[in-house]
Amino acid sequence: MTFIRNLTSRFSNKIISVEIDQDLLEELDTADKVTTNRNITFNLYKLIYHIGTIQSRRFAPSNRLKFSDKSDLIETLYSNTNEFRVRINDVRTVNGSETLTSISEDFGIGISVVIAEKLFNIKRSTIQKIYGTGRRPDWKCQTTDNRILVFECKGSTSMQTSIQQEVNALDQKTKEPGDVQIASLTVLNENSISTNRFLDPPIEQSNISPTMENHILRAGHYASVFSFLGNSKLSRYYSQMRKRLEGKITPYEQELKNETFRDLRTNDPTVYFDNKEFAGSFYEIDNQKFLFVGVDKELLSYSGFIEFKDYENDSDTLIRGNHYNLFKDGVLIIEIEQIQDFDDIVRIDRIQNYQNKITVSDIDGMNEISFSKYFIHLLERNGFTNIREEIKVGDFQIDLTADFNNETYYFEFKIYKNKRMNRNAIEQVNFYSRQILNGKFVLVTNGKMNSEYLDNSRITIIDRNGLKKIANNYRNLIELINTTPNNV
């Protein structure tokens, strides 16, 4: 695992070609209100930050640092060009169409935000995923002139698919009140610059005052950000802050919020930087590489939260090999090479690896690239050796191969958004497993297994229930992989 900064330094900023709806031009907060086709440059570090803010599961706060998972997206880009271009064929061949779809959706979300920041004067701390059941847009925010922007985002790898997505996108964006409602349609390209279309802004006014809308959006923003950054305490705290602002908090929830506030102010690690205090958490992401994620302490109290103004700019500061990334919304991320600098703040020997803090719902949010890295960490933790990725056996490419107790194990991964494994997928894996003459074949999936699918299966299967056991105790992996498969 490497720092996201080490990845982005190889890619720098990227450019995407954007087509802007003629009807949207007057709504833009730019000097140019004429040009409909523009090349927009954006920062990859901020792209990953925005993807996580929108894609995180705010109502299921997690202690897992998903910031590193999303950085895997950068590895799918071409580094020898400043154009935003994706290694589509490699992802499809190595990781499968399910992963490619997931990557397209993630990039579609993040690109919509970085483009919106260029075209509108957005309050960064109001960027928030839209929650609810049924068909709804993806995210919304507030501009400095108090307009509410609503976005429905789609990502694909072909213009034909994007055109098919357009009808649903134009409908979904109208499901949330806003001053400007935009459908953002991104097409990821491999051999040419990727494109985006910003379409159609019909208007539906909200009956919430701009000031209160600002506070509610900001609370939701921080709840999402800290779920993404693996601090469930802060994520829940800002969820409770949001309920208080909406007048929906119960006395019990208010008391929990008060207790959390006291704990954050007095017990959690505090980093001093740029004449400010930041409360947060430390994570190990690799051997002697650590991350701190925290929030400006001014944002913890109710009055401080209400009065807080976004910083004028993001900043990036290098101090003794440690990179301090301070965002305008008051969130601090430090990529730490010299952890000794913080030994007066935290017990270094008690900092856990971010891969250890995981639930099955965290796995659901991964693509196969991120899951493979998690599983490598899991195998290493259990004492496996000679771990190899993407080994070809006959006509079949195995995701991971590893040795344990003089036996070779072959692992195939199937991570599904719908959390369900179908019979055809098992039969296909079963067929290819017959090419393994020595060793044990293990299928790992977050899908729910139907027992009838396992009839005549010669492979060992770790399904959703098995992953739950592993998340509860990593040592359960050994027991699960030694489950004898059915005879054929």
Q: What's the confidence (pLDDT) of residue 58?
A: 47
pLDDT at 484: 52
pLDDT band at 57 (very low <50, low <70, confident <90, very high): low
pLDDT above 80 (res 295): yes
Average pLDDT over all residues of the chain: 86
Average pLDDT over residues 13-20: 94
Q: What is the mean pLDDT of residues 277-293?
A: 91
Distance CA 70, CA 356 (A): 17
How high is the pLDDT of residue 88?
95
Of 144 and 389, the structure prediction assigns the larger pLDDT to 144
Tokens 């907060």 locate to 29
Question: Please, what are the domains in the chain?
Answer: 4-210 (no CATH), 360-481 (3.40.1350.10)
Q: Is the dihedral of CA 7, 11, 12, 14 positive or negative?
A: negative
Neighbours of 167 (CB within 10 A): 10
The predicted-structure confidence for 219-250, as pLDDT tens digits, reads as follows 999 998 998 888 888 998 999 999 888 888 88
- Would you state the pLDDT for residue 46? 87
Q: E strand or H helix at 155, and its extent?
A: strand 148-156
Nearest to 120 by CA among 29, 49, 37: 29
Query: Which pLDDT does position 423 carry in this prediction?
Result: 72
d(CA 278, CA 410): 45
Alpha-carbon distances of 357 from 64, 158, 232, 284, 354, rounded to whole Å:
5, 37, 11, 11, 6
Question: What does the pLDDT read at residue 329?
Answer: 94
* pLDDT value at residue 202: 61
Residue of 167, 79, 70 whose CA lies nearest to 110 = 70
Q: What are 34's two structure tokens? A: 């004429």
Q: What is the pLDDT of residues 96-128, one digit of tens each?
A: 888 899 899 999 999 999 999 999 999 999 998
pLDDT band per the 50, 70, 90 thresholds, residue 212: confident
Q: Tokens for 224, please give them.
A: 């999402």
For the stretch 401-450, pLDDT in tens is 999 998 889 898 888 877 777 777 777 777 777 777 778 888 898 888 76
Residue 11 has pLDDT above 60, yes or no: no
Task: Please tell me the predicted confidence (pLDDT) of residue 361.
Answer: 86
pLDDT band at 455 (very low <50, low <70, confident <90, very high): low
User: How crowded is residue 213: how many other Cβ atoms within 10 Å of its Cβ?
Assistant: 19
Q: What was the pLDDT predicted at 368? A: 84
- Average the pLDDT over 186-197 and give the result: 95
211 class by beta-carbon count within 10 Å (0-12 exposed, 13-18 middle, 19+ buried):
exposed
Residue 445 or residue 3, greater confidence: 445
Q: Name the residue type at position 64.
A: R
The model's pLDDT over 305-351, given as tens digits with 9 standing for 90+, comes to 999 999 999 999 999 989 999 999 999 999 999 999 999 999 999 99
What pLDDT score was predicted for residue 487? Answer: 40
What is the reported pLDDT for 355?
87
Contact between residue 328 and residue 254 where contact means Cβ atoms under 8 Å apart = no
Q: Confidence band (pLDDT; 50, 70, 90) for 486?
A: very low
pLDDT at 54: 85
**270 has pLDDT over 80:** yes
